[in-house]
Chains A and B, each alone.
Chain A
Amino acid sequence: GDSVTQMEGPVTLSEEAFLTINCTYTATGYPSLFWYVQYPGEGLQLLLKATKADDKGSNKGFEATYRKETTSFHLEKGSVQVSDSAVYFCALSDLSGGSNYKLTFGKGTLLTVNP
């Protein structure tokens, strides 16, 4: 079945540091890939997405590139801020085999950014 593996952290960085959170996936078909962010006490917010190989999703300074050859979708940001402190989830949606819109999530990575 489908699965997502991401570095679990926690990750602690100083403000303005470079961020990478690794994510790799296994899917039977050709999935769409997502990064979601969850702030304390809240639901999930879609951060960025990519629907085909070599697509680059970007939003709020975050980027991730869909790499089919390495089955990866690593999240990066050049300069993190204290307000980026949250839990980040990598997820996939595999539409193979018909109407299967369920999201499969990684376990989440807690990011803490210190001033």
Chain B
Amino acid sequence: KAGVTQTPRYLIKTRGQQVTLSCSPISGHRSVSWYQQTPGQGLQFLFEYFSETQRNKGNFPGRFSGRQFSNSRSEMNVSTLELGDSALYLCASKRTSGYEQYFGPGTRLTVT
């Protein structure tokens, strides 16, 4: 079974621009979560989607948003990029039952 895939793997953007990241979960997984990983703050939860609905949201400004499609694929968008948004963005998927989340390889975003 294919794992979680994320595209693109690397991105370089300029301050003020916006960016969209994509995540395809493991087949059959309907829950998709997003995390931000930085050296200073570590791994922080952004939001979780299930059946196209946002179920949980972390402590991030409104510039960070997401959505989920009917095939469970998810996108996250960051508008008006700031230097501090440079990070590894990780997507994870989960079966409806069970506790484990399975992570993709991440998208490395660099804001200059």
Contacts and interface: CB of A to CB of B under 8 A. Distances in A.
Interface of A: 32, 34, 36, 42-46, 49, 51, 89, 91, 93, 99-108
Nearest to B106: A43
Contacts of A104: 45
B25 to A, nearest CB: 13
Contacts of A43: 4, 6, 90, 103-106
Contacts of B94: 101
Given A101-B31, A101-B33, A101-B94, A46 B56 contact: no
A99 B100 contact: no
Nearest to B94: A101
Interface of B: 4, 6, 31, 33, 35, 42-43, 45, 48, 50, 55-56, 58, 90, 92, 94, 99-106
Contacts of B4: 43
A93 B31 CA distance: 14
8 contacts: A34-B100, A46-B100, A51-B99, A89-B43, A91-B43, A99-B56, A101-B33, A102-B58
Contact of A42 (B31, B45, B99, B105): B105
B43 A49 contact: no
A103 B45 contact: yes
Nearest to B88: A43
Contact of A107 (B35, B42, B101, B103): B42
A106 B99 CA distance: 18
B99 A32 contact: yes
Contact of B101 (A42, A100, A101): A101
Contacts of B50: 99
A101 B45 CA distance: 10
Contacts of A100: 56
Given A102-B56, A103-B92, 10 more contacts: A43-B106, A46-B101, A49-B99, A49-B100, A93-B101, A99-B56, A100-B56, A101-B101, A102-B33, A103-B35
